[in-house]
């Protein structure tokens, strides 16, 4: 990988923004844990809710941090910003559907990694790699946990499969070619990369 952009200089402002980012990540993780674990919440299953929290950590946190770290590797300023309205909607919809049907429907729009460049728009190959990093991390983690679920005994097979399926679902959802999802950005720069990632997420999700 090459490097693009200026050297990063850490200032007091960067530290304050870093604390805000940490708060946004924690709130987003907590809200999505409730959303994905709404069914377990109503059933009073502490273990199920805990597994949902782990699933969200591997799916949501890894996804956003992958975007951020790849962007920073190219000298870009990148931080996660929560969208609190989207988080509230996700929790409300999940709680309502879980109460009505026993299984939550999660429409996750927690926020995004905001990227800034001092030297103008980054080259297309940089934007492609940054956009691909999140879904790719979900596909890798989802595949690993799904395979592990086939090798483990119950109830661990169920919980490992849940973590894998949530990762693959988030990969598939984010790869839809609809702005502002990752899929639309990836398709803009490389249709081949998009179709490989999209097909992988879709096939793996339905296989496992």
The residues carrying an active-site annotation are: 64
Burial code of 63-96, b = ≥16 C-beta within 10 A, e = fewer?
A: bbbbbbebbbbbbbbbbbbbeeebbebbbebbbe
């Amino acid at each position: 990988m090459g490097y693009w952009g200026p050297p990063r200089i850490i200032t007091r402002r960067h530290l304050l923004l870093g604390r805000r980012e940490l708060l946004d990540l924690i709130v987003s993780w907590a809200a999505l844990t409730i959303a994905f674990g709404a069914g377990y919440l109503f059933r009073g299953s502490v273990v199920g809710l805990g597994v949902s929290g782990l699933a969200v950590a591997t799916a949501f946190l890894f996804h956003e941090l992958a975007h951020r770290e790849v962007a920073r590797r190219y000298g870009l300023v990148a931080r996660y910003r929560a969208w609190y309205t989207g988080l509230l909607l996700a929790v409300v919809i999940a709680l309502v559907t879980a109460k009505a049907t026993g299984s939550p429907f999660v429409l996750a729009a927690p926020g995004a990694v905001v990227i800034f460049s001092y030297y103008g728009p980054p080259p297309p190959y940089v934007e492609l790699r940054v956009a691909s990093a999140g879904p790719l991390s979900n596909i890798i983690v989802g595949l690993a946990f799904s395979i592990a679920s086939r090798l483990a005994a119950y109830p661990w097979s169920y919980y490992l499969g849940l973590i894998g399926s949530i990762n693959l679902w988030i990969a598939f959802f984010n790869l839809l070619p609809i702005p502002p999802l990752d899929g639309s950005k990836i398709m803009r720069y490389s249709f081949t990369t998009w179709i490989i990632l999209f097909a992988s997420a879709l096939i793996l999700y339905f296989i496992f």
